[in-house]
Amino acid sequence: AKNLSAYQRKDGYLEGNSCIVSWCLGHLAEYAPPEIYNEKYAKWQFEDLPIIPEVWKVQVSEDKKKQFDVLCGLINRADVAYLVNGCDAGREGELVARWILKIAGNKKPVRRLWISSVTDKAIREGFKNLKDGRAYLNLYAAAEARAEADWLVGMNGTRALTCRYNAQLSCGRVQTPTLALIAAREQEIKSFVPKRFYTLTTVSHGMT
């Protein structure tokens, strides 16, 4: 905001003579939980698995609705000609912004700020070289595929384990294999048996 001379502080954003700067709070939107697709999923039952949505539903996180409403109002302001996606330069940053724009019903052009540093110089140079947002559609598609995989593994795996073993157990696409790696390494350490070993030392006498 400083680099764009947006100093006028408002509720949820900063405004200058020619631009508005606002922010997200992590993932403002997320894939809806199973019970949104069908009320019967509110009760965890093994026979209902797997749950695979035919059409994915994205919803605003309840605890972040206030900031989303701010963004939605700004996106649809009559005096806003185009939008700049300044979220993290990566897959998740693309997803955060795209879902907000999708729910807000954005029809305006989107440009992409792609920077890996938040120094004043990097920010100013980034705004001088904004990219066409459409160039990152494949990155957005990859992010959605990752989100769907997380949902399918997490929701189904967690419910399956919990129902099968009658205990609060969780499963995740990243969490579970990572935990397995840690557990396997811990087991290796616990079962380690010291063995005698020898080192070889040589002495050579030759011409220098």
pLDDT in tens, 80-118: 999 999 999 999 999 999 999 999 999 999 999 999 999
pLDDT above 90 covers a percentage of the chain that reads 92
pLDDT in tens, 129-188: 999 999 999 999 999 999 999 999 999 999 999 999 999 999 998 899 999 999 999 999
Structure confidence at residue 203 (pLDDT): 87
Question: How many Cβ atoms are within 10 Å of 95's Cβ, its own excluded?
Answer: 23
Question: How many Cβ atoms are within 10 Å of 181's Cβ, its own excluded?
Answer: 10
CB 123 within 8 A of CB 115: yes
Of residues 109 and 206, more confidently modeled: 109
**Is the pLDDT score of 206 beyond 80?**
no
Whole-number mean pLDDT of the chain? Answer: 95
- Judge if the upstream peptide bond of residue 50 is cis by omega within 30 degrees of 0: yes
Structure confidence at residue 205 (pLDDT): 79
Residue 208's pLDDT band (cuts 50, 70, 90): low
Mean pLDDT along residues 52-56: 96
CB 27 within 8 A of CB 98: no
